[in-house]
């Protein structure tokens, strides 16, 4: 599944097979309040992926997400950290885009695997682990954010502990 429309806030992530609801590009959706920062997003399908405010994604109208020094450009499938371009594979870019669409939220392993490959289970979790490792290695320091693993739950693009303390 391509996340170009997702980045611009034009579509929702697909719902489970029991209720195939999709938001068409010309429809608008009200932002959801969602769970508290750091909460596990185990049913991401039910929530709109548009941010609560434009501050989280100032470039969303042009098809990009900016979080701190990290920028994802969906028009060109490019990622930059501090202005320097970082080469990511398609799966790496898609996974990072899913995490960036919900900053400060932990997304369950199963939810990520289902959206990326339409499969879940131990092999999918291991594949996620490998891709997250590659993303972390390629991006380096992306403070005030970091890709954090929440054991037996999932992954999240969360603010660092230092950034939270400064607030």
Question: Which CATH number do you get for residue 116?
Answer: 1.10.10.10
pLDDT of 52: 34
Q: What is the mean pLDDT of residues 142-165?
A: 86
**C-alpha span between 58 and 136 (Å, rounded):** 23
Closest CA relative to residue 148, chosen from 102, 87, 90, 79: 102
Local structure of 84: helix, strand or coil: strand
Model confidence band, residue 161 (pLDDT cutoffs 50, 70, 90): confident
% of the chain at pLDDT higher than 70: 59
**C-alpha span between 8 and 37 (Å, rounded):** 22
Over residues 49-98, the pLDDT tens digits come to: 333 333 333 333 458 899 989 999 999 999 999 999 999 999 999 999 99
Q: How far is CA 91 from CA 95, 135, 144, in A?
A: 6, 10, 24
**C-alpha span between 40 and 36 (Å, rounded):** 9
- With both helix axes pointing from N to C terminus, report the angle between 122-139 and 109-117 in degrees, rounded to the nearest 10: 90
| Cβ neighbours for 129, distance < 8 A, ≥ 6 positions apart | none
Is residue 21's pLDDT more than 60?
no
Is residue 27's pLDDT more than 50?
no
- Edge-to-edge strand ranges of the sheet holding 78-81: 64-67, 70-73, 78-81, 84-86
Numbers of helices and strands, H then E, in the chain: 5, 8
Q: Supply the pTM of this predicted model.
A: 0.64
Range of the domain at 140: 4-166
Model confidence band, residue 163 (pLDDT cutoffs 50, 70, 90): low
Over residues 119-147, the pLDDT tens digits come to: 999 999 999 999 999 999 999 999 889 99
Q: How many domains does the chain have?
A: 1
pLDDT of 11: 42
Q: What is the mean pLDDT of residues 145-150?
A: 93
In the block, tokens 């997702």 appear at 6
Structure tokens, 144: 């005030």
């Amino acid at each position: 599944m391509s996340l170009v429309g997702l980045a611009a806030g034009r579509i929702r992530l697909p719902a489970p097979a029991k209720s195939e609801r999709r938001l068409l590009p010309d429809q608008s959706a009200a932002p959801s309040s969602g769970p508290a920062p750091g909460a596990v997003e185990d049913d991401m399908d039910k929530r709109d992926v548009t941010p609560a405010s434009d501050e989280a994604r100032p470039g969303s109208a042009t098809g990009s997400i900016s979080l701190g020094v990290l920028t994802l450009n969906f028009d060109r499938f490019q990622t930059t950290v501090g202005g320097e371009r970082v080469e990511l594979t398609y799966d790496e870019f898609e996974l990072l885009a899913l995490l960036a669409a919900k900053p400060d939220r932990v997304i369950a392993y199963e939810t990520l695997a289902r959206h990326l490959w339409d499969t879940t289970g131990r092999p999918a979790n291991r594949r996620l682990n490998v891709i997250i490792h590659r993303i972390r290695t390629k991006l380096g320091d992306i403070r005030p954010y970091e890709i954090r693993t929440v054991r037996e739950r999932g992954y999240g693009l969360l603010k660092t502990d230092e950034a939270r303390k400064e607030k």
